[in-house]
Amino acid sequence: MSNLETNRVYNFNPGPANLPLEVLKEAQAEFLNFNNSGMSIIEISHRSKPYEEVHAQAKADILELMNLGNDYEVLFIQGGASLQFAMIPMNFASPEHKGNYILSGTFSSNAYKEAVTLGVGEVAASSKETGFHHVPQQNELKINPNAAYLHICNNNTIYGTEFHYIPDTNGVPLFADMSSDMLSRPWDFSKFDFIYAGVQKNLGPAGVVLVVAKKSLIEKSRETLPTMLRYDTFFKKDSLYNTPPEFCIYMVGKVAKWVKSQGGLTAMAERNAKKAKLLYDAIDNSDGFYRGHADKDSRSFMNVTFRLPNEELEKKFVVEALEHNLSGVKGHRSVGGMRASIYNAMPIEGAEALANFMDQFKKAN
Ligand SMILES: *Cc1c(COP(=O)(O)O)cnc(C)c1O
């Protein structure tokens, strides 16, 4: 291994986040001359054959991994997951058919806020009053039968909680922000009508949102909206109405291929469960030195959040972790403490190293 490789840290940042080393190396090797075109992928036309192949293959691999058929379409849209918070109610909700929201953390609350701004938001359940320690369970949901959709945030990146069930909506279309756990586990994606993910957590570099949605739904975008805010623009033009972020989509395609080569979503889920167990065990076996934020039944397999006995120790933990090549463990300011993001690309050795460090740190302090 070169120094450049051996000097890499275990990167626990929440997003942008670590990507598989194999993928980075492949992109590096192809960077100057993509597919014998004599040009870099970032220098070629989005109407060229080499790019079109990248685009089509990425879409096909994503649908295959999600085990979805051609009643679903894959779209690539810019503006981040945050623009989806607005585009969804703009396209699909109305004062008569409001968007229903489960508030389970920061991002679901931000999504709801956009719907409220448009006069079309309604809360179906919330764990805000109890500090977002859990995701609302089925028996807590009050879904309006006239709702245009129920929106959930599948994994709450900041609080470290995750849905471990798929809500039964009684026929109301189910929409999900899967930014931070997309392609991390096999899931019955066919129960969802609309899924989206900012790719910078688990799928690639920042710059594009992956949307996977039912064709019959995205055909019905609101006609009074500007072109670039309508889903059917992206659908009809294969996400090539305007210049797409080619490099991002190329990287997402490479990550999807990598996931396939590792054994698909089942293999990802097994690895992710092992990593999560190492860290949750370190918390649970610490005699209260580490306190997990999430209730046990809502624990995230992607973002492990925990506090230490006091803020001084938390600061010390961050500094000493970095000395052990464990980077990015500081939690979000709204929760405090630590957050270890262990997305698909985090090797098991990384989680082992952090669990060992947690053990040592506890003993020393
Ligand atoms: C990071 C994140 C977002 C925000 O994504 P942007 O692309 O920065 O707008 C939204 N939802 C979830 C679950 C996230 O983790």
Which DSSP string do the residues of 85-137 spell out, in sequence order?
HHHHHHHH--SSSPEEEEE-SHHHHHHHHHHHHTT-EEEEEE-TTTTS-SPPP
Domain 32-261 has CATH 2.60.120.200: no
Q: What is the pTM (predicted TM-score) of this model?
A: 0.97
If you measure from the C-alpha of residue 73 to the centroid of ligand 1, how many angstroms do you get, rounded to a whole number? 21
Q: Please write the tens of the pLDDT for every residue from 171-196.
A: 999 999 999 999 999 999 999 999 99
Beta-bridged to residue 161, according to DSSP, are 156, 299
Tokens of 155: 């994994």
- 87 in contact with ligand 1, CB cutoff 6 A: no
290 in ligand 1 pocket by Cβ < 6 Å?
no
pLDDT of residue 4: 72
User: Which pLDDT value is given to residue 354?
Assistant: 98
Secondary-structure class of domain 263-364 per CATH: alpha beta
Contact 187, 163 (CB under 8 A): no
Segments in the chain below pLDDT 70: 1-3
d(CA 179, ligand 1 centre) in Å: 6
- Outline which parts of the chain fall under CATH 3.40.640.10: 32-261
Q: Whose CA is nearest to atom 13 of ligand 1?
A: 179
Region(s) of the chain under CATH 3.90.1150.10:
263-364
